[in-house]
Amino acid sequence: MQVGGKDSGFMGEINVTPFVDVMLVLLIIFMVTAPMMVEGVNVDLPETTAQPLESEKEPLVVTIDKDGQVFINDFKTGRDIFATKLTKVLEARQDRTVYLKADKTIPYGVVMQIMSEIRGTGVAKLGMVTLPVPETPPQ
């Protein structure tokens, strides 16, 4: 006994409309959230008159934010294991140059302690990241 006529067999085609709808929603979500995820660590840098350095490679940046938290390239690390993690990161890199970004409200002693730990890991060059002093027009 057949039900539904002579063409009631299995359908051999896949309905892709729900799949396309889901993919478009995901695309929109990722397009909206992607710019928010690239921000990095917010640091109020001091201003100096030094000229910017030219670099072709992605630098290794250690950041100390206003709360005293330490980051290695936007990845938060504890102060007690900072030197160990930095040593592991430097093992995989040929360039042993590190740039230090510290909020200008951080006490000098904290910055010097982190600098000492960085130098203790065998870093060849240690640079400080600052902002240029805004130029004032001559009067």
Please write the tens of the pLDDT for every residue from 98-116: 899 988 888 988 889 999 9
pLDDT value, residue 23: 93
d(CA 32, CA 34): 6
Work out the average pLDDT over 79-92.
Answer: 88
Give the separation between CA 102 and CA 96, rounded to whole angstroms: 19
Task: Determine the pLDDT at residue 92.
Answer: 82
Mean pLDDT of all residues in the chain?
A: 80
3 or 20: which leads in pLDDT? 20
State yes or no: pLDDT of 138 exceeds 50: yes
Q: What is the pLDDT of residues 4-58, one digit of tens each?
A: 556 566 777 888 888 899 999 999 988 888 776 655 556 666 676 666 656 557 7
Range with the poorest average pLDDT among 47-51, 64-68, 80-84, 130-134: 47-51
Q: pTM of the full predicted structure?
A: 0.58
Q: Domain spans of the chain?
A: 47-132
pLDDT, residue 1, reads: 47
Nearest-angstrom CA–CA distance, 137 and 72: 38
Q: What was the pLDDT predicted at 9?
A: 67
> H or E element: which one contains 70?
strand 70-72
Q: Say which CATH topology domain 47-132 has.
A: Nucleotidyltransferase; domain 5 (3.30.420)
3-state secondary structure of 6: coil
